[in-house]
Amino acid sequence: MRKQQTPSYSVLLMKHKLVSPRATAIDCWAVWQRVCEDPVVRERSMKRAKKHRPNQLPSVHAGYTYAAPILNAMTAAELAALRDRLGVRPVKEFAVL
């Protein structure tokens, strides 16, 4: 059973401050697609896909499959550079009511 009602990509984007907690699911999905299409994320995803399946060509879906671990492995400077490339302003902390 799922504990959260929000999609996992939304939670991940909120964790890395790429979207605000008040963002809609549609906004989160749009940012998620832009993150997965980012050249740096795509390159790292393809490298990771090659490690997991060395005898096969990496899938075109590797950007979506491995984007979450790639984001989690990024440093603060790399995430700031990603925000700049995407044109996303940094999200400030929101107080939980």
The vertex-75 CA angle with 69 and 80, nearest 5°, equals: 105
Instruction: Report the number of distinct structural domains present in the chain.
Output: 1
Residue 61 lies in a domain: yes
Residue 3 lies in a domain: no
In this predicted structure, what is the pLDDT of residue 55?
58
In this predicted structure, what is the pLDDT of residue 18?
92
| Residue type, position 93, single letter | E
Q: Which segments of the chain does DSSP mark as H helices, in order?
A: 8-15, 25-37, 39-52, 62-65, 67-73, 76-86
Q: Return the closest-CA partner of residue 68 out of 35, 39, 94, 19.
A: 35
The overall average pLDDT reported for the chain is 81
Is the pLDDT at 64 greater than 80? The verdict is no
Question: pTM to 2 decimals?
Answer: 0.77
Mean pLDDT across the stretch 20-40? 91
Mean pLDDT across the stretch 42-67? 70
- Quickly count: other Cβ atoms within 10 Å of residue 84's Cβ: 11
Domain enclosing residue 27, as ranges: 8-13+23-86
Residue 18 lies in a domain: no
Provide the percentage of residues in the chain whose pLDDT is more than 70: 78
